[in-house]
Chain A
Amino acid sequence: MGNPLSNWRIAWENRFYRWLDQRSPNTHSITLNRKNLYTFPNVSGLMYLVIIVVIWMLGTNYQNNLILALAYLMISIFIVAILHAFTNMAGITVTFAGAKPAFAGEPAAFTLELTAIHKFGCDHLELRWPGGDTQLVTLNANEPVRINLHAQSKERGYLRPGRLLLQSHFPLGIIRCWTWLNLDAQALIYPAPIASEEPKHQASDGKQEGGSRQRGGDDFSGLRDYQPGDPIKHIAWKQFAQEKGLFTKEYEAFNSAEKWLDWNSLTLPQEARLSGFCYWALEYEQRQIPYGLRLPGITLEPALGEAHLQAVLTAMAQFNLPAPVLPKVATQ
């Protein structure tokens, strides 16, 4: 801060990204073409040019036309390499096909679908989110490939990983062909699960701890003497056939203790509270104890299962975000 040079740099970068944004508007699916692909020789490419100069001087000095022709062929190959590097990547369609939610601090996996329409497909394609790890992909023509590209998440909420870098040095490694794509990609980031004291449970919902039994479920619980009026379908015919007497099969459903993750049950700062809830939600899910969530404005009834867990985690991830980032819908 305050350093004029760094201010300058930031201003420059912002300008550059604005310019990029104009060139590559924010959508969930982008096809690479000459408008968004850039090519430039890399260090090896410059070395190659030096080699050409050496060979050209050899040919000129010895007045050797064949060596000169070789130098010209190499220049020509350089041009062809630019075109081939461009063709290698042109026509690739990159589609953001969703992101798996992750816990804060973990890398979030963004699923990208890549399709190359060129006859030769695309070789040696590198993909990377800013600051992320590079992944190498080979594409065959018209065969969509799905990859998971990871970006590090920091805090709960929505993670927008920034511009996606796609680059390739194929075929000769002397030309870099690259693009930054502004994909409309975001991943839901759950709070980081951090162990805390177990949330206290309100007695207000009237159910006693330890759970209750409820008749009429579909788990067989035992036999009892037949009483007139019992449904005929519940009669234990096997026992009757064994002449043991007339019995009625009894069914019941088991309701175990329900746990509530209540906003008021923990006294911690907001994020720490959510982290604690997150930890306990996972814990209850593993222990198969139904749990519900009660945040200001949101109530999720106690239940179990992956879907419920996700609903709870999602609600916590979206809870009271500083500035809501809603998914932009690509309609045009």
Chain B
Amino acid sequence: MIKPFWQRTTKVTPAVREEYLVRDKLAWLLIMQTVLILPLLFNLPAWLGLAWAISASWRIQMFRGRWSAPGKVAKSLLTAICVAGMFASYSGNTSTEAMVGLLVCTFSLKLLEVNSTRDAQFLIFIGFIITASQLLFSQTPQAAAFCLFSMLLLLSCWRSLHLTHEQSPTLRLKRGGAIILHALPVMLVLFLVVPRLGPLWAIPNQQAAKTGFSDSLSPGDLGNLALNPAPAFRVSFTNQTPPPANQLYWRGIVLDGFDGRAWKMRDSWGRASENGSSIKQELIDYSVILEPHGQPWLFSLMTPIETKSATDSIRITADSLLMNRIPVAQRIRYEVTSALKQEWPESPQLQPLQRDGYTRLPLTSNPQTRALGESWRAQQLSDQQIIDKALALFNREFTYTLQPPLLGVHSVDEFLFQSKRGFCEHFASSFSFLLRAAGIPARVVVGYQGGTWNPVENYLLVRQSDAHAWTEVWIEGKGWQMIDPTAAVAPNRIEQGMSEALNASDLELVNSAWQSSSILQQLQIRWDAANYVWQVWVLNYDTKTQEGLLTRLLGGTESWRLTLWLIGLGLLGAGIFAWMLVRRRPSLAIRREVKAIKKLEQKLEQCGYRRAQGETLGDFFQRILVSAPQYRATLQNIHQLFVQIAYQNQAIQIERLEQAIKQFPK
């Protein structure tokens, strides 16, 4: 029976405050969390992955209605396990990794007790920090793309939390993507314009894995590097073209002590080597982006005169080498001006102590070579003649190979007189030894030689496989001169790169690491170019680049100019937004003829006639004609045209109507 209306209870909808999460929102949260945590798991201890897996699967079981929510005991237990794990992995250590680990713990455990929108919102907020910490571990373009994808999921998930009606997942992703897309322009401006600050407080040192060569050189060290195609650094030259390949010797370290087997850096015993000033010639400007290699040394051409970097932590040593204050743990960028040639107006002098140091050899090692060197010295040959003789020796009888035989105790002797097959370090090492034996100051320099020119972005890519060792010899009146004994054996190695210098079996070895197919090579070049651009414009975009860019774009970096531009951009953005708002209104689509009549109405309003809302055009014109009969013909024509267009479906007349209204009141 239907109750009379005054007895029916009016149903009042309950207040909506703390609504419980709907299942689909939970599913979104789960997926979002999985994606966000995934890249971090590779960098964190395995037990964290386990903790996450446990809480996620518990949540899934809850989602499926199989398990109930964890009770107090279970929650405390899980928390205890995590705390114990944290202590075990990072006891007393406040490194970045520990911080991220803690965050992942919170993120995982929080999922278990997400009940309301408020909780979910909290989870989203942690999600943002998790996304940021993804970038602590990797900053490649791929990592950035993944980060963007994470943001897309995060935003779609976040928006879904507040959604009150059904929407397909694709549409949700689309709308979430739209938010990011709309945000990108402002982000770009902020990224380019907002000034960078230095580190706010000292961060615990990150240990970077050491790559490349170490600070000593023994036979076979560089041979291993020859198979490693990883980039060591990239160089762009201010004048866009690199110097010829035989000048591309990237000096890294100078090894001046030989212990019978390995060349080592000696302690600094008065390294103020070249006193007196020289005239620097053939200056060349270039900037280097160095991959982190965990060593303090940097690379430069010949004699660096000046160097700049964002952190101002680089100095030029007495040996004309670049040194960073701390080992390079992050990719850094520095600019160098080098002199490819220098002339000495007054002959540079080597202190006797220094001369002694640069000619010192262990007494018992490599007697044969020692004897050879001493015999040359005994022949009263000049320094230059001895050098030529030694190079001729290499040129005549030696083979360049990546697979040298193993050498025994007297490695130089064995190499020079028996195997005669070797790699650059063999040549440099034995050459230096030979010269030292002949009393000529010599030292081994280790660095990189050559590089691959990338024509797409005009920079030189130097790989680990370009690692090289050569010799520097003190020549009276000229100072230290570079001599590369490898060039005497395999000039191709210097001119065209390693693959040209190798024989077939070596090539096979190298090809397994290197791609030789031309299409792949092209792709490789392009990919590396993209990486380079990424590094220059994104990763190493610093205050200096910023200034340069702003000066180029805006004509200066004064604060008034920046403010003006920001206001301008803001207005532009607001304008675009307003335009989008207007454009989006479907119901405001005004018919063309009505638009035209609106123009006419504006004109008539200036004459004092205004159409009432409910007045038809005919009535309106009739009213006008009473007091202004001079418009009779025009208005009748306009009315007729309008009626034809609007009510007789003769859209063709629209031009005539617009024309007539344009000419009104003629």
Contact = CB atoms under 8 A, between A and B. Distances in A.
Given A63-B330, A66-B147, A81-B179, A76 B164 contact: no
Q: How large is the interface on B (under 10, 10 to 19, 20 to 34, 35 or more residues)?
A: 35 or more
Interface string A82-97: 0110010011000000
Interface string A109-128: 10000000111100110100
B10 A136 contact: no
Contact of B15 (A54, A87, A133, A286): A133
Given A55-B129, A67-B132, A70-B132, A135 B13 contact: yes
A73 B12 contact: no
B182 A80 contact: yes
A109 B12 CA distance: 9
30 contacts: A44-B121, A47-B125, A57-B200, A63-B198, A63-B199, A63-B330, A64-B135, A65-B540, A67-B136, A68-B196, A70-B147, A72-B194, A73-B151, A76-B184, A77-B180, A77-B183, A79-B183, A80-B186, A87-B584, A102-B10, A117-B588, A133-B15, A136-B16, A169-B162, A170-B162, A171-B162, A172-B159, A173-B161, A193-B6, A282-B4
Given A70-B147, A73-B184, A133-B15, 14 more contacts: A51-B125, A51-B129, A62-B136, A63-B198, A64-B136, A71-B132, A76-B190, A80-B182, A107-B10, A119-B584, A142-B586, A170-B163, A173-B121, A173-B158
A117 B4 contact: no
A75 interface: yes
B2 interface: no
B200 A83 contact: no
A106 interface: yes
B397 to A, nearest CB: 52
Contact of A48 (B125, B184, B199, B588): B125
A194 interface: no
Contacts of B183: 73, 76-77, 79-80
A83 B182 contact: yes
Interface of A: 44, 47-48, 51, 54-55, 57-77, 79-81, 83-84, 87, 90-91, 102-103, 106-107, 109, 117-120, 123-124, 126, 133-136, 138, 141-142, 150, 169-173, 193, 282, 285-286
Nearest to A72: B190
B87 interface: no
Contacts of A120: 175
A45 to B, nearest CB: 10
B148 to A, nearest CB: 9
A162 to B, nearest CB: 17
B453 interface: no
B584 A75 contact: no
B10 A150 contact: yes
A283 to B, nearest CB: 10
A87 B147 CA distance: 28
Nearest to B150: A70
B147 to A, nearest CB: 7
A162 B163 CA distance: 29
Contact of B585 (A73, A91, A126, A286): A91
A118 B165 contact: no
A136 B164 contact: yes
A76 B193 CA distance: 14
Nearest to B13: A135
Given A61-B201, A77-B155, A79-B186, A171 B121 contact: no
A133 B187 CA distance: 40
B53 interface: no
A286 B135 contact: no
Given A68-B191, A72-B194, A77-B179, A117 B162 contact: no
Contacts of A73: 151, 180, 183-184, 187
B144 interface: yes
A91 B13 CA distance: 26
Contacts of A62: 96, 136, 199, 203
B614 interface: no
A241 to B, nearest CB: 43
Given A60-B200, A66-B135, A75 B586 contact: no
Nearest to A102: B10
A286 B4 contact: yes
B409 to A, nearest CB: 48
Nearest to A47: B125
B398 interface: no
A72 B132 CA distance: 12
Contacts of A141: 586
Interface in B121-167: 121, 125, 128-129, 131-133, 135-136, 139, 143-144, 147, 151, 155, 158-159, 161-165
B115 to A, nearest CB: 16
A48 B161 CA distance: 15
B577 interface: yes
